[in-house]
Structure 1
Amino acid sequence: MWTSVLEEHGIAVVPVDGEHVRLEHVDHSAVFFVLTIPRLARTRDIRTAPERHALLVADAITAEASERAWASGWSVATEDGAGWVRFAGRTLRFEPTPKAQTPKRPPGRPGRGVFSVVRALFAMDGGARQAEIAEFAHVGQAAVSKALNRLAELDLVARRPHGWEMTNRAGAVSWWLANYPGPGGIETHWFGVESIGDQAYRAYAALDRSEHARPVMSGDVAADLVAPWRTPRRATLYARRGEDLSEVGLTPSDASAATLTLVLPQDAGVWPISKAPVLTEMRGHGDVARANAFQVLYDLSRSPGPDADEALKAWRDWMVESGQVL
């Protein structure tokens, strides 16, 4: 993750919103516009930096594109560890770390729309018309049609007289988890010494006070509130806007040591498809909003601990057996 690359070079990353982060190094800080290119960045991708501080994030970057990015006013951070940050009148440079080549995206990988369609159908009892699915999934009807055809070929959905419905809930959950590419966006990691639940609630409350942040709990903590299985090992929160969580006693961390992860996602499907928040009581604290059940599933699949697989299975079983899942 590019945030880990910066953190390894002493640059703390604090999310501001879905397009901006604040970078902090020694006694200096600045807010950077972030442009993400989820592949090899080439010369044709580089335009003049839109703001004074602008950070281009990519899997990797060609030598020619790197030269143009420098001339166009960009800072650069790549997943392979290369780049530079123009910061406080000087430039911090870092070199790529040798590692195995990143696998290329398999041909025919489904777009995000199909994952939102699965989320919607899972929550809509009794079948749904294509227009209804489009409304709930926030996906255009053409994309819905394409997604339904793909899912029908996999024998996961079928068209009935009352509309499209899920025919294999367990199979749909397995397919979704195996193929979902992740939420994208900006991910930052934090460390705290309090219990995971206390850290999660403090972070949630701080984000909830921020206008338009709309935070939701996911992963271990969200699962523990609905279908308890194990003591949470790490908290995961999503929000539309970020906050400096050092204000609630957390410190920036690398991913391996983090006790809490905050994500400002590109995928709007992270939030439940219902128009109202899905609130759950957090004992000893108050009500908190939960992420979409599929997102909780995804984050559980990335959670640490020897019993993570059992926790994932418990949540998967709850999703399949509980009826409507938002």
Structure 2
Amino acid sequence: MTTMDLRGPISKIRGRQIVLIDEVWAQLALTHGVTLETPRDPAVDVLLRVPGWPEAVAYDVKVFGSPMAPTTLAQIHSRHRPRSAQSRLLLFVPAATETLLEKAAEHGVSVLRAPKRAGEPIEGMLVSPDGATLRLRADPDPERQPRRRGRIPWGTYAVAFEVLAADARPVRQRELADKFGISQPRVSQILRELHPVATKGPDASEVDRFALAQWLVDEYPRDPRVSTSWMTLVPTNLAVVSVHQHLRVAGVEHAVSGQVAADWLAPWARPQTLWMWTRSAVDMTAAAATPVSPRDATLTVAVADDPYLLASARQVGTHASPVLAPWRVWVDLVHQGHHDAADVLLSALLEGKLR
């Protein structure tokens, strides 16, 4: 296995393989909101500021030109002697498998797959000194959707939400195919797969909304790809305005969900927390927010793996920020344990007041 130390954010060439380290820093900043800072300690290779982490983290960086086994990672960790008392180990590898990342998390080691060409997305994981992790994944391609065997494809969930919102209205397969960028035969297959849970009886055409809604609560993934937690310095109804403005200026696609979205869709009570889905992680300190633990957060900024999530957003009333589709908001509320808001929103949905 070949290895080298990296003394700063520059590109390296090993034989015929070009490790585009500069590309990594650019993608971390533009896609994930992770920025480079200038370390005061000259022994520190890289100092990274990660959204939601209370302090910038110093890393000792090593680049490897050949694949790494989990056992090798453990050996590297055991031999590592940090050049700075506060620094952590960050490894660049040609491939970052789930098994390798699990071993890395166990040892508190950060691992990134370095791109071989410009524009190739980075993947991997950053680990903070207190064990917090930031998972980095390439944005899923809605048309190809490479998924693990046995996991439900995102297109299935997208069609399920659309069927749920349609209620008694006919669902046209061509419209669904055009809307979600998948083939009509695939839409037909998804509808057949959903038929046992989405209809009242094996031969019925009427949608069983309760059964389909419960299926989505049970099956739709609860955990975001990345989430950061913040305490806002103003009431939630004012915080959503400043957060929206901050994200709009930053050019980051976003949509409101959770308690605030529920109150906008079906007023129920004064929201205490704000949940914002975004295309990428963003530092919210400029929006009058302070990083805190999830338990103390009044604002959560989350990045989803679902490529169809933000596409469902729409404007509601005079509110500037877009809002997720109502049934998606409802699933979020149930997953987050906001059952009072979820019940009020569910009643409005079942009564036909929202679609």
Alpha-carbon separation, structure 1, partners of 2:29 and 2:92: 26
Which residue number in structure 2 is paired with residue 30 of structure 1?
48
CA distance 1:199–1:71, change in 2 (3 Å): closer
* Cα shift at 1:323: 6.2
Is residue 206–residue 248 contact of structure 1 (8 Å, CA) maintained in 2?
Answer: yes
Which deviates more from structure 2 when the two are superposed, residues 68-77 or residues 142-151? Answer: 68-77
Q: Which has the larger radius of gyration?
A: 2
Q: Distance in 1 between matches of 2:94 and 2:128?
A: 15
**Residue aligned with 2:216, SS:** helix
Q: Which residue of 1 aligns with 2:141?
A: none
For 1:280, the aligned partner's letter is V
C-alpha displacement at 1:169, in angstroms?
1.9
Does the alignment pair 1:110 with 2:110?
no
Tell me the distance in 2 between the aligned counterparts of 1:24 and 1:321. 53
Distance 2:286 2:296 in 1: 19
1:72 matched to 2:114? The reply is no
- Where in structure 1 do 4 or more consecutive aligned residues deviate above 6 Å? 23-28, 73-77, 157-160
Residue of structure 2 in register with 1:152 after alignment:
195
Q: 1:279 aligns with which of 312, 315, 334?
A: 315
Offset, 1:181: 1.0
State yes or no: 1:194 paired with 2:224: no
* TM-score, structure 1 as length reference: 0.65
Q: Contact (CA 8 Å) 2:164, 2:213: kept in 1 or not?
A: no
Does residue 216 (structure 1) correspond to residue 259 (structure 2)? The answer is: no
1:166/1:81 CA distance change after superposition, 3 Å? farther
Asked whether the 8 Å contact 2:196–2:202 carries over to 1, the reply is no
Partner-residue secondary structure (3-state), 1:182 = coil
After TM superposition, the structure 1 = structure 2 runs for residues 1-326 of structure 1, keeping only pairs within 5 Å, are 16=29, 18=31, 21-22=34-35, 29-30=47-48, 62-64=70-72, 70=91, 72=93, 82-85=107-110, 108-124=150-166, 126-156=169-199, 167-182=207-222, 184-211=224-251, 213-273=252-312, 278-281=314-317, 286-303=319-336, 308-322=338-352, 325=355
SS, match of residue 261 in structure 1: strand
Question: What one-letter code is carried by the residue in structure 2 that aligns with 1:228?
Answer: P
Cα distance in 1 for partners of 2:281, 2:265 equals 25
The alignment's TM-score, normalised by the length of structure 2, stands at 0.60
Segments of 5+ residues of structure 1 without an aligned counterpart are: 1-14, 33-45, 50-60, 98-106
CA distance in 1, matches of 2:206, 2:49: 45
- SS class of match (1:287): coil
**Deviation for aligned residue 1:260:** 0.5
Percent identical among aligned pairs is: 19
- What is the deviation of 1:233? 2.3
Distance 1:189 1:94, change over 3 A: closer
One-letter amino acid of the structure 2 residue matched with residue 83 of structure 1: G
- Structure 2: which 5+ residue stretches go unaligned? 1-27, 41-45, 51-62, 77-89, 112-125, 133-148
CA gap 1:26/1:313 in 2 versus in 1, 3 angstroms: farther
Please say if residues 243 and 287 of structure 2, whose CA atoms lie closer than 8 Å, have aligned partners that are also in contact: yes
Once the two structures are superposed, residues 117-169 of structure 1 have per-residue CA deviations (whole angstroms, 9 ceiling, x without a partner) of: 01222344631332222222344445423321121122438999xxx976112
- One-letter code aligned to 2:328: Q
Aligned residue pairs, count: 262
Letter in 2 for 1:238: W
Provide the C-alpha distance between the structure 1 equivalents of 2:178 and 2:223, rounded to a whole number of angstroms: 20
Quote the offset at 1:47 in angstroms: 8.4
* CA distance, structure 1, for counterparts of residue 224 and residue 237 of structure 2: 25
Q: Which residue of 1 aligns with 2:81?
A: none
Instruction: Mark the CA change 1:252 to 1:266 in structure 2 (over 3 Å): closer, same or farther.
Output: same
Post-superposition shift, 1:261?
0.7
CA contact (8 A) 1:242 1:264 kept: yes
Q: What amino acid is the match of 1:254?
A: S
